Amino acid sequence: MPELILMRHAAAQSAAIGASDFERPLSPAGRHEAARSAQRLAGAATIERVLFSPAQRTSETAQIVADELSLGPQALVAVPALYAATPAAIRAAIARAHGNARVLLVVGHNPGISELGCELAGAGSHAQLPTAGFWRRALDAHAWQALT
């Protein structure tokens, strides 16, 4: 049975004067948060593929998770459409890039990543993921196509 894990990037540094939001790196506390979340994910089913926004903070979060879980570089897939994405854009990215993984991790940004989690949870859920927080859900056998 497929499983989807949605994760918000870990805590980032404030934007430097003249730097773009896209270039914001993780803070030292954020690197620690990402490692802790990866350790919590380690007891779950084996993640086969990680889709992530190419923004620096999401790239770093995805890499820390991959390193902690000993995932090879082939598991990591940068998806430009995930930067500042809406839930619909995240769904479309998953449908295009899931690679038939049984367990898929998507590392993205709020508000879109939390909003998609709420949509999939249903019943009026309005929770916002904290930095490095994640949401897991088992899906039916045709999950990746059904997300669109």
The CATH number for 92's domain is 3.40.50.1240
Region 51-62: mean pLDDT is: 98
Amino acid symbol at 35: A
Region 77-101: mean pLDDT is: 94
Burial string for 113-128 (b: 16+ CB within 10 Å, else e) reads bbbbbbebeeeeeeee
What are the strands, taking DSSP E only, across 3-147? 3-8, 49-52, 76-78, 103-108, 134-138
Helix, strand and coil percent figures for the chain, each rounded to 5: 40, 20, 40
What are the residues whose beta carbons fall under 8 Å from the beta carbon of 107, sequence distance 6 or more? 7, 8, 9, 50, 51, 52, 53, 58, 61, 62, 65, 82
Amino acid symbol at 132: A
In which domain, by residue range, is 87 found?
A: 3-12+21-146
* CA–CA dist 50, 66 (Å, integer): 8
The encoded tokens of residue 68 equal: 């902690």
Q: What are phi and psi of 122, to 5 degrees?
A: 70, -170
Band (65; pLDDT cuts 50, 70, 90): very high
Amino acid symbol at 45: A
The pLDDT tens digits of the residues spanning 94-148 come to: 999 998 899 999 999 999 999 999 888 876 667 889 999 999 988 876 666 666 5
Query: What total of structural domains would you count in the chain?
Result: 1
- 3-state secondary structure (DSSP) of residue 118: helix
> What is the model's pTM?
0.93
How much is the pLDDT for 78?
98
- 3-state secondary structure (DSSP) of residue 14: coil
